[in-house]
Amino acid sequence: MAKPRIAFFDFAGCEGDQLQIANLEERLLDILGHVEVVSFREVATGHSDDYDVAFIEGSITRPEDEIRLKEIRKNAKVLVALGACAAIGGINCLKNFLAENVYREEVYGNSARWFSTYAARPLKSVVTVDAEIPGCPIDPAEFARITKELLLGRTPWIPDFPVCVECKQAGNVCRYEMGRMCLGIITRAGCKAACVSQGAHCWGCRGLVPGANLDAARIVMDRPGTSRKAIQDLLRFFLGDTGAAL
Amino acid sequence: MAKTPAKTATAKPKKAKSPATPVSVPENVPGPKKVRVHYLTRVEGHGNIVVDVEADGTVSTCRWEVPEAPRFFEAMLVGRDYTDVHHIVSRICGICAIGHQLASLQATEDALNINVSEQTHLLRRLALHAENLQSHLLHIAYLVLPDLMGVDSILPLAQTHKEAVLKFIGARRVSNEFSRLICGRTTHPQRMTPGGFTMFPSTEDLVTLRGMLVDTLPNLDFAVDFFAGLMDKFPKFERETEYVALVSPSEYAMYWGEIGSSRDERRPVRQYRNVTREYIIPTSTAKWTKNQGESYMVGALARFNLNADFLMPRAKAAAKKLGLKKGETNPFLITIAQLVECVHTVEEAITQVDELLIRGIREEAPARPSISAGRGAGAVEVPRGILFHFYEYDDNGRIFQADCVIPTNQNHANIQRDLDALVPQLSGLSEKELELKLSMLVRAYDPCISCSTHCIDARGLDDGARSLVRFNRK
């Protein structure tokens, strides 16, 4: 059987997710033994339009991005959104809360109208996405697992419960017990509560868990010592393209 | 082992049928000019080299263009609380996330009068070392080495030079483990916060780290010997330019210092705009910078040229073995300066881990700010050069205005000047040789174009995924 041909593409993003794949180090060589990489611009010369699986990083931020994405969709049998920017719009959507002329001028001053841009959006706003590997950055182990499932022809599964479940397993003290805010209550698990376990809180980079109760979450967050503005800040951090952000 | 992408790659590009690629452009261009598309790969982000070739084969001009999608980070920061800012700017670049966080924290702490402990400084210095090692090794082994060995990627080398590749990969794994132990992870680390850290490595972590670093030194020696045997593969090229980097009276400045230059006086970081002097040009796409000359260079070679006297002993020996001397003017050797820095970084990190072990690690709460309006600047040396963040905060500790000047943007003008100077050497070369030489030059700068917070797509035609060397043949 011919090896599946895989390709990597990127739109507006930091390419940190492709770096996580490079960071699989020796395990990367194992995975590469089972596939043929036809395009991985970050680490290899060469490109082909003949591929089975397309991994795509980054958000769509310009009309011409859509044309290119649709072309990739046409070529790929399986299209995978890699990371928060591709899967849920992520940090790029912060600019969507500013008026377009404001953010253009803030950065470019007099040259504000030299280039094209529009509201940042995830891949699924433009094309059908077959699988998501969420997170900012992605978890390399989850990438390896999902890629394996795709290569076996299965529909990959990602956790459909909130970060709180893994956070309890990790033995962390709840941030709300500490008088802090945290989005673990509405965020899809799969990161092993990576940020809470490092002393921080959850920013929601893996997107909303299916059936997230946003009204209840707002009640939990809205308590003495926090401001509505702080809640809004947190919900806009990665979730700007979802119903969570106001 | 996967079949290398090489075979398909050389055959396919010209057949690329995607309407989104500029391949279809030539038919619409009047006159005899032809445009051919090639891919400049193994760089971060998207960049093009456009080459104009006369009918007789002489190369008339080369242009460096950056069509990366702009992301508007400086605008996204407006109105954000000081506790979030470094986590947002971290997302500017997945490779230099730690450096962006550090420059950001420095600017915030400068603006809001937060004084952090010596332990915090030591841990942050270590985080910066971890990132430099990680990024340099990625560039040296994965991105540049294939050119020197005449292959398309590191994958074929895993078979032909297995020992070397495993040593490089092993050293990179150490670098990632290094950042995991100090700040949580390599990309977008979680532990750093204004005023300090939210979590600390344990004594056992530091002992483990020390062991790993000590074990890495022989691997780096091996790498130095390996590259010493490849020095003749680097193109011969010299062009003196202005070198800009942080300088300090007592160390090889990475974490802080003053802005130093080979042609200009030293300036405090807050005066960075007098050095960077950003400007926009319509044909290319990022903001460019210039200081005393038409362009200046930042990065490992600039640091080496200004600060080589402060290198640790083993790094000095490595530089000697590689034949790298202060005042080197060949930009192709930036990679070699990076290799010397890898040795330095590991040596210095070992002494800093020792210092932490002697002091004993304390779990301290982050220092608190006194929130009032203020301005602050931060500068650190990230793998690709000096990085500036400048913030103005309002009375509520929210950003009023932000400015980030990224190393790659500071190098754009210098890359262009190098290309100009390289043109006379290019005539008569085949398209393949041209492509290799030009790509090698740009790749030497390790351009991290995804970093470029403010880039403009003036062409509006790019296909984004494919960085390219483009030939205009008359």
Backbone angles phi and psi of B358, in degrees to 5: -70, -45
> In this complex, do B3 and A22 lie within 8 Å of one another by their Cβ atoms?
no
Nearest neighbour of A98 by CB, restricted to B20, B75, B153: B75
Q: How far is CA A47 from CA A50, A76, A93, B142, in A?
A: 9, 14, 30, 17
Asked if B219 and B167 touch (Cβ cutoff 8 Å), the reply is yes
Token pair, residue B133, equals: 């090692």
Name the most confidently modeled range: A3-12, A46-55, A200-209.
A200-209
Instruction: Give a yes or no: residue B40 inside a domain.
Output: yes
Confidence class of residue B433 from pLDDT cuts 50, 70 and 90? confident
Does B249 lie in the same domain as B226?
no
- The residue among B199, B443, B450 with the most chain A CBs within 10 A of its CB, best to mutate, is B450
Sorted by sequence, the CB contacts under 8 Å of residue B234 that are 6+ apart come out as: B148, B330, B332, B333, B335, B336
Residue type, B317: A
Name the most confidently modeled range: A120-129, B42-51, B139-148.
A120-129
Q: Residue A40: which region, alpha, beta or left (left: phi > 0; alpha: psi -120 to 50)?
A: beta
Does B325 lie in the same domain as B250?
yes
Q: What is the pLDDT of residue B425?
A: 85
Confidence class of residue A147 from pLDDT cuts 50, 70 and 90? very high
Closest to A91 measured CA to CA, from A236, A208, A245: A236
Q: For chain A, what's the residue count?
A: 246
Token pair, residue B4, equals: 């290398």
First to last CA, chain B: 43
Instruction: Give a yes or no: residue B462 inside a domain.
Output: yes
Instruction: Give a yes or no: residue B96 inside a domain.
Output: no
Separation in Å, CA of B13 to nearest CA in chain A: 7
Separation in Å, CA of B249 to nearest CA in chain A: 35
Q: How far is CA B344 from CA A37, A143, B72, B105, in A?
A: 35, 34, 35, 25
Q: What is the pLDDT of residue B200?
A: 97
Q: What is the pLDDT of residue B69?
A: 64
Higher-scoring residue by pLDDT: B5, B253: B253
* Residue-wise pLDDT tens digits, B306-364: 999 999 999 999 999 999 999 999 999 999 999 999 999 999 999 999 999 999 999 99
Does B425 lie in the same domain as B322?
yes
Nearest neighbour of B465 by CB, restricted to A45, A68, A233: A68
Range of the domain at B416: 31-69+242-329+406-474
Q: How many domains does chain B have?
A: 2
Angle at B470 between CA B468 and CA B471, to 5 degrees: 160
Does B282 lie in the same domain as B169?
no
Pairing mode, strands B385-393 and A78-82: unpaired
Q: Residue B192 belongs to a domain with what CATH number?
A: 1.10.645.10
For chain B, the average pLDDT equals: 84
Q: What is the pLDDT of residue B437?
A: 87
Does B313 lie in the same domain as B188?
no
> In this complex, do A10 and B457 lie within 8 Å of one another by their Cβ atoms?
no
Tell me which of B20-24, B119-123, B314-318 is least confident.
B20-24
Sorted by sequence, the CB contacts under 8 Å of residue A224 that are 6+ apart come out as: none
When pLDDT is averaged across residues B173-201 and rounded to a whole number, the result is 96
ipTM, interface predicted TM-score of the complex: 0.91
Does residue A158 have a pLDDT over 80? yes
Separation in Å, CA of A189 to nearest CA in chain B: 17
Higher-scoring residue by pLDDT: A185, B468: A185
Contact residues, chain B, for A92 at CB < 8 Å: 71
Name the most confidently modeled range: A37-51, A60-74, B26-40.
A60-74
Tell me which of A227-236, B43-52, B140-149, B334-343 is least confident.
B43-52
> In this complex, do B191 and A62 lie within 8 Å of one another by their Cβ atoms?
no
Tell me which of B209-223, B274-288, B297-311, B346-360 is least confident.
B274-288
Contact residues, chain A, for B146 at CB < 8 Å: 44-45
Does B264 lie in the same domain as B210?
no
Instruction: Give a yes or no: residue B352 inside a domain.
Output: yes
Instruction: Give a yes or no: residue B401 inside a domain.
Output: no
Instruction: Give a yes or no: residue B377 inside a domain.
Output: no
Q: What is the pLDDT of residue B344?
A: 98
Higher-scoring residue by pLDDT: A105, A234: A234
Could you tell me which chain A residue has the CA closest to the CA of B157? A29
Contact residues, chain A, for B463 at CB < 8 Å: 68
Handedness of CA A81, B81, A183, B200 (dihedral sign): positive
> In this complex, do A47 and B93 lie within 8 Å of one another by their Cβ atoms?
no
Confidence class of residue B3 from pLDDT cuts 50, 70 and 90? very low
Higher-scoring residue by pLDDT: B309, A112: B309
Q: What is the pLDDT of residue A102?
A: 76
Does B441 lie in the same domain as B298?
yes
Does B232 lie in the same domain as B130?
yes
Give me the percent of chain B exceeding a pLDDT of 90: 59
Does B272 lie in the same domain as B128?
no
Contact residues, chain A, for B456 at CB < 8 Å: 108, 111, 114-115
In chain A, CATH 3.40.50.700 covers 5-151
Could you tell me which chain B residue has the CA closest to the CA of A57? B465
Closest to B441 measured CA to CA, from B341, B284, B334, B304: B334
Give the CATH fold of the A5-151 domain: Rossmann fold (3.40.50)
Task: Give the count of Cβ contacts less than 8 A between chain A and B.
Answer: 244
Taking only Cα atoms into account, the Rg of chain B, rounded to an integer number of angstroms, comes to: 22
Contact residues, chain B, for A33 at CB < 8 Å: 1-2
Backbone angles phi and psi of A209, in degrees to 5: -70, 145
Contact residues, chain B, for A13 at CB < 8 Å: 94, 450
Cα–Cα dist A23/A80, whole Å:
19
Q: How many CB atoms lie within 10 A of CB B249?
A: 9
Confidence class of residue B291 from pLDDT cuts 50, 70 and 90? confident
Sheet holding B468-473, edge to edge: B34-39, B468-473, B48-53, B59-65
Give me the percent of chain B exceeding a pLDDT of 70: 82
Does B152 lie in the same domain as B183?
yes
Backbone angles phi and psi of A128, in degrees to 5: -75, 130
Does B299 lie in the same domain as B345?
no
Cα–Cα dist A24/A20, whole Å:
7
Instruction: Give a yes or no: residue B62 inside a domain.
Output: yes
Cα–Cα dist B195/B117, whole Å:
8
Higher-scoring residue by pLDDT: B13, B125: B125
Does residue B170 have a pLDDT over 60? yes
Separation in Å, CA of B414 to nearest CA in chain A: 22
What interhelical angle do B97-111 and B118-137 show, nearest 10?
Answer: 150
Beta bridge partners of A208: A187
Token pair, residue A214, equals: 């946003």
* Residue-wise pLDDT tens digits, A21-32: 988 877 887 888
Half-sphere exposure of B148 (CA within 13 A, CB side): 23
Instruction: Give a yes or no: residue B302 inside a domain.
Output: yes
Is the bond preceding B282 in cis, omega lying within 30 degrees of 0? no
Does B424 lie in the same domain as B300?
yes
